[in-house]
Every structure is written in structure tokens, then in C-alpha cells.
Amino acid sequence: MSSRRKNRQTPAARASRQRAARQAARARRPETARTPEGRAAHPLMALDLPYSGYQTWITPKTVTGTAGDVSEEARALHARLQRLAPLYAGSVPMAALRLDNYIEQGTIPLGATYGVSRIPVADMAALFAGEDAPEVGQLLHELHFRSALVLDDQHIVRLSVPA
């Protein structure tokens, strides 16, 4: 019988590897602008959230001229990033794209201690912004930017206490 040992990491080694991965991701992020008081101007970036949707940030560039061989999907993504960039101080986390998809689809998976509920965006619009559904989308992105909403690794929207 072969005495092959399985390569199992100790919890300390796993935590160390995860911490190193977060530090490497932080190094790839754009620098966080600071307010005169020294606080981060981009609350989501300042939190250093462990979720995958906050490991990659995109700063869209302005495109001039024609892009003949660019797919329609790439053009639509760039247009979406250009629309979201002002709401996120220029750098858009991948989680914001997921949130925008939820808003576009019409339901938000909202997590709580008892489970996950799919909340219609139209109902949120009636609560927050009257009958104007696009306004509630902007409000949800504002709450996300302010870190009152975060998306976990299962892409569930969670309420958070802003930093």
C-alpha cells in the first residue's frame, strides 16, 4: 500500500496565502484618492473587501476614432463602463457590473440571515424613487459606492455598515 500524503494546508498557511493574494490584488488597484481629512474618496476601495468582485477594478479610457474589429459585446461593455465610471469615481469594480446586470434584469438577490430573497427593482423604485425605475438604479449604485451594499462571492447583495 502506497503511503501517499495528501497535500493539505494548515489553516494558518491558507490564511497566509489568502492575505498575500489580497495584498497582490491591492497592489494592482488604482491609487485611492484621499479627501482633505485623509479618508479614502472611494469607500469601496478603502474597505479592502475579501470578495472576488472587488479584486479587479476597471478604469475605462475614452475611445476616439473607429474600432472596426471590436465586437458589439465589447462596445456594449465599454459603454456600460463609461456610464458607471462617474458613479464610482472613475474606477469600477467588477461587482458594480454584476449589480448593474441585476438592475437591468429587474430583480436584486438580497441576502439576510434567514436566506436570500429576489426583490423586484420596480418595488425598490416605488420605495426609493417614486415610479422612476432608472432612478433607483442610480440610487443602488450610489449605495454600493458608499459601501452600504456589497456583493459577496455568490453574487448576493448584502447590506453593510458604510465605513
- Assess whether pLDDT exceeds 70 at residue 143: yes
Which of 17, 44, 52 lies closest to 152, judged by CA?
Answer: 52
Residue 2 has pLDDT above 60, yes or no: no
Query: pLDDT by residue (tens digit) across 95-137?
Result: 999 999 999 999 999 998 888 999 898 887 776 655 555 578 8
Q: Is residue 32 part of a domain?
A: yes
Confidence check: pLDDT of 39 > 60: no
Alpha-carbon radius of gyration of the chain: 19
Query: Could you tell me if residue 132 is inside a domain?
Result: yes
Distance CA 150, CA 48 (A): 12
Domain range for 41 is 12-159
